[in-house]
């Protein structure tokens, strides 16, 4: 190439390499580099962990690793989050209030309002992006839950996935929850992991911790001077309550005493530890509509045994979280980074009341009341006690245990009282905090304060724009001064709360809170007023005694709600979940699946059956002797499977954990097409027929319809991957790949059943209009 052409193609690079290098230091753009000795940052976020669930906050559950964090750091007794998972995660990563950043509800909804977009906004940098720009390696493991359901598959838009939001590496799951024994869909980076069967003894928390330790070691082995940010977002202790059998066994009999005695014992330990003042008293059992708790002794002996088992599994899960902290600390110690690591441990909200009054072995029954499994404790649970916590159940504990886990506060996750948003928070940075190790901090602090605090501790600038778009300044404030000074004032003096219509406002030691009863007009909600300086757990309502103070805080909430895009409020009709953007309709089209296709993602798969009426056409060339799964949708949480075994065609339904097995159809010769026809006449039921080459051989009616979040696993063709629909079939054959020739499987959605939520949108809008 001539010099002239070189200059035309590469202006500024004329001459030889030697000539250029003799006159220039480098043509490479500078890379971000962290200051020498910059500390690592580890944030461990538990899911649905209550205020008193770790031993340094009063629990009887041994958590020595978290206790050691506290011994080399500080514990905050007045730390707050949002009352729900996705909003807290968004607030943690951006330093903005959850509605302000567009995640005022879980990411499973996108009703079209600015405060409820269900994903992080394009103009706002995350903590990971800031640290990456400051020269950090950034890694995330575990639960994400910050992208829309329409974007959960690789065919969706990945702009709100971890790697696109500042993380160099990601290993985990994108949704709200998953099976701990057989996770439904794991991702490595931007790629779904295709796995048919997990190894014997697999447990999700162990897997995530293995990966977290590996990521840390990989970074430090390559560049020992490069600091890292590890965001470990646990799936535990969110439902389903799954744990390893040996760990559960260690807690056998520990909770036969019941939740009333447990919270008395936890409060006594909290007072002894100084976590709460000596004169703290327990509030009455929660009494609010549909959130009330009965006395433990009012249940029968059999019911108490089952309910105690749920808590035994939960305690084992808490231990697994502590084990993960221990292993990460051991890794940091092994590579000489323990003292120079800022290690944060907290929870995303208070303990969860989603197990209702008596718990359940089938978590999704609360959103699918047509399922066979009951929300009441029955003989089935009593006769299968040891199965609770294993791979054949999807349990959640009764809300009485959530009340005890949130000791000494009122209510639970989603509510605006302190049980919904007060959580443990430990920050350990031995190089700085060891001198104050074990001390308590009582200043009011909030999850939106973490990003500004880390910014101050690390000397990191908070960007004012992202991708050319102006960014909002953090809503939070730094609490760095409190690490060294127990008497430093809190600069966070006001904070609003809102979740599914529940509301609260904090200002300078006072709080106003309103419990919203679903499907009731907001004008009927009663605001309560509390002086938290004298009444930290909101036992004494001063609304009548201090009407001016109450009016002041209610007005402040209203003003903050407008600033932060909280409106419109959710009245409880379900419209938030049902209103969807136009691209949602693309997921309800006919679905054709070829053999060898990885599992069709959970949400896309659910949309083709959501209306209730649909047809599954299996085109194949079946010969005598061929057998295996033709199509499987779901797993042990719920689902259905069509398979051939020993010369017969079988169809089974798993209804909320309960198997429904129908008489098989003989297939004596070759077969070219099998059709499953599902009709939904209304009443939340299915009527099904299965035919082979036009000959009907299986028919059943009044099958509880599967809808809503479930089936929790997607659709498999020619195999039943991961958690099986039929446990008995899995025990005989594993994932049971089909041995014949399978051409394709086609799902054809039909018209919606007359009583589906989508068909009732106009009716629900009218109901909502009447609840203003």
Q: Which residues contact 570 (CB under 8 A, 6 or more apart)?
A: 105, 500, 501, 576
Instruction: State yes or no: is 85 an active-site residue.
Output: yes
Per DSSP, the three-state class of 527 is: strand
How many CA atoms, within 13 angstroms, populate the side-chain half-sphere of residue 617?
12
Distance between CA atoms of residues 174 and 711, nearest Å = 16
Q: Dihedrals φ, ψ of 592, to 5°?
A: -110, 130
Distance between CA atoms of residues 458 and 134, nearest Å = 10
Q: Residue 592's beta-bridge partner residues? A: 746
What is the rounded end-to-end Cα distance, in angstroms, of the chain? 75
Which contiguous run of DSSP H or E holds residue 347?
strand 341-347
* Among candidate residues 177, 210, 158, 154, the one with its CA nearest the CA of residue 723: 177
- Which CA distances in Å does 749 have to 149, 365, 678, 760? 19, 24, 10, 18
Whether residue 176 contacts residue 109, with contact meaning beta carbons closer than 8 Å, is answered with no
Q: Residue 396's beta-bridge partner residues? A: 360
Distance between CA atoms of residues 687 and 698, nearest Å = 11
Instruction: State yes or no: is 145 an active-site residue.
Output: yes
* Among candidate residues 305, 303, 293, the one with its CA nearest the CA of residue 263: 293
**Burial status of residue 731 (CB atoms within 10 A of its CB: 0-12, 13-18, 19 or more):** exposed
Whether residue 130 contacts residue 502, with contact meaning beta carbons closer than 8 Å, is answered with no
Structure tokens at 739: 């041995």
Distance between CA atoms of residues 26 and 19, nearest Å = 12
* Among candidate residues 146, 140, 124, the one with its CA nearest the CA of residue 41: 140
Distance between CA atoms of residues 205 and 232, nearest Å = 10
Q: CA Rg, the chain, in Å?
A: 27
Whether residue 699 contacts residue 688, with contact meaning beta carbons closer than 8 Å, is answered with yes
Structure tokens at 35: 């200051």
The catalytically annotated residue of 56, 85, 147, 671 is 85
Structure tokens at 78: 């007045």
Buried/exposed 44-72: b ≥16 CB within 10 Å, e otherwise: bbbbbbbbbbbbbbbbebebebbbbbbbb
The catalytically annotated residue of 145, 238, 242, 251 is 145
Q: Which residue has the tokens 């940010």?
A: 229
Looking at the annotation, which residues are catalytic?
85, 145
């Amino acid at each position: 190439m001539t010099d002239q052409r070189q200059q035309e193609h590469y202006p500024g690079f004329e001459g030889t390499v030697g000539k250029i290098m003799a006159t220039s230091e480098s043509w490479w753009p500078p890379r971000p580099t962290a200051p020498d000795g910059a500390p690592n940052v580890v944030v461990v976020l538990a899911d649905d962990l209550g205020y008193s669930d770790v031993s340094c906050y009063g629990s009887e559950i041994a958590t020595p690793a978290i206790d050691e964090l506290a011994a080399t750091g500080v514990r905050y007794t007045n730390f707050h989050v949002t009352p729900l998972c996705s909003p807290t995660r968004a607030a943690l990563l951006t330093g903005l209030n959850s509605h302000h950043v567009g995640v005022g509800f879980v990411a499973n909804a996108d009703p079209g309002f600015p405060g409820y977009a269900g994903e992080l906004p394009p103009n706002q940098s995350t903590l990971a992006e800031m640290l990456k720009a400051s020269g950090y390696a950034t890694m995330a493991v575990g639960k994400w839950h910050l992208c829309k359901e329409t974007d959960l598959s690789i065919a969706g838009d990945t702009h709100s996935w971890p790697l696109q939001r500042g993380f160099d590496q990601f290993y985990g799951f994108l949704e709200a929850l998953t099976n701990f024994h057989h996770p439904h869909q794991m991702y490595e980076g931007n790629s779904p992991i295709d796995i048919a069967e997990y190894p014997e003894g697999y447990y999700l928390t162990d897997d995530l911790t293995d990966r977290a330790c590996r990521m840390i070691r990989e970074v430090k082995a390559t560049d020992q001077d490069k600091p890292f940010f590890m965001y470990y977002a646990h799936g535990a202790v969110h439902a389903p309550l799954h744990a390893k059998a040996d760990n559960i066994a260690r807690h056998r009999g520990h909770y036969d005493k019941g939740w009333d005695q447990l919270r008395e014992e936890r409060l006594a330990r909290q007072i002894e530890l100084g976590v709460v003042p000596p004169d703290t008293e327990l509030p009455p059992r929660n009494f609010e509509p549909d959130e009330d708790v009965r006395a433990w002794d009012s249940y029968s002996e059999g019911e108490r045994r089952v309910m105690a088992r749920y808590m035994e599994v939960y305690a084992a899960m808490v231990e697994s979280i502590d084990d993960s902290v221990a292993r990460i600390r051991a890794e940091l110690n092994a590579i000489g980074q323990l003292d120079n690591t800022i290690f944060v441990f907290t929870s995303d909200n208070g303990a969860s009341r989603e197990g209702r009054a008596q718990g359940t072995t089938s978590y999704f029954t609360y959103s699918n009341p047509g399922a066979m499994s009951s929300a009441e404790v029955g003989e089935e649970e009593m006769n299968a006690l040891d199965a609770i916590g294993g791979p054949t159940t999807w349990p959640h504990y009764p809300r009485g245990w959530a009340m005890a886990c949130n000791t000494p506060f009122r209510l639970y996750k989603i509510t605006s009282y302190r049980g919904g948003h007060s959580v443990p928070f430990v920050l350990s940075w031995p190089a700085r905090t060891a001198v104050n190790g074990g001390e308590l901090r009582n200043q009011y602090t909030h999850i939106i304060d973490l990003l500004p605090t880390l910014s101050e501790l690390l000397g990191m600038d908070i960007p004012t724009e992202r991708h050319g778009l102006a960014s909002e300044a953090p809503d939070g404030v730094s609490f760095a001064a409190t690490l060294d000074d127990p008497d430093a004032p809190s600069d966070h003096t006001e904070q609003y709360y809102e979740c599914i219509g529940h509301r609260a406002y904090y200002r300078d030691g006072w709080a106003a809170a309103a419990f919203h009863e679903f499907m009731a007009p907001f004008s009927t909600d009663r605001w309560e007023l509390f002086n938290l300086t004298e009444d930290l757990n909101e036992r004494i309502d001063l609304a009548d005694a201090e009407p001016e103070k109450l009016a002041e805080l209610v007005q402040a909430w209203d003003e903050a709600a407008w600033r932060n895009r909280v409106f419109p409020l959710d009245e409880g009709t379900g419209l938030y979940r049902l209103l969807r953007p136009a691209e949602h309709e693309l997921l309800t089209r006919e679905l054709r699946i070829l053999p060898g296709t990885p599992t069709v993602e959970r949400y896309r798969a659910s949309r083709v059956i959501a209306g209730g009426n649909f047809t599954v056409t299996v085109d194949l060339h079946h010969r005598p002797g061929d057998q295996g799964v033709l199509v499987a949708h779901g797993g042990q949480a719920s689902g259905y499977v069509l398979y051939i075994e020993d010369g017969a065609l079988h169809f089974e339904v798993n209804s909320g954990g309960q198997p429904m097995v129908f008489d098989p159809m003989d297939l004596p010769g070759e077969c070219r097409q099998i059709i499953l026809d599902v009709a939904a006449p209304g009443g939340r039921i299915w009527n099904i027929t299965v035919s082979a080459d036009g000959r009907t051989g299986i028919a059943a009616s009044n099958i509880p319809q599967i809808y809503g979040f479930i089936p929790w696993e997607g659709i498999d063709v020619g195999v039943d991957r991961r958690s099986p629909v039929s446990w008995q079939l899995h025990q005989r054959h594993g994932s049971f790949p089909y041995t014949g020739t399978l051409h394709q499987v086609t799902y054809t959605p039909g018209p919606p059943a007359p009583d589906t939520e989508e068909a009732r949108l106009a009716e629900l809008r009218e109901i909502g209009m009447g609840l203003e």
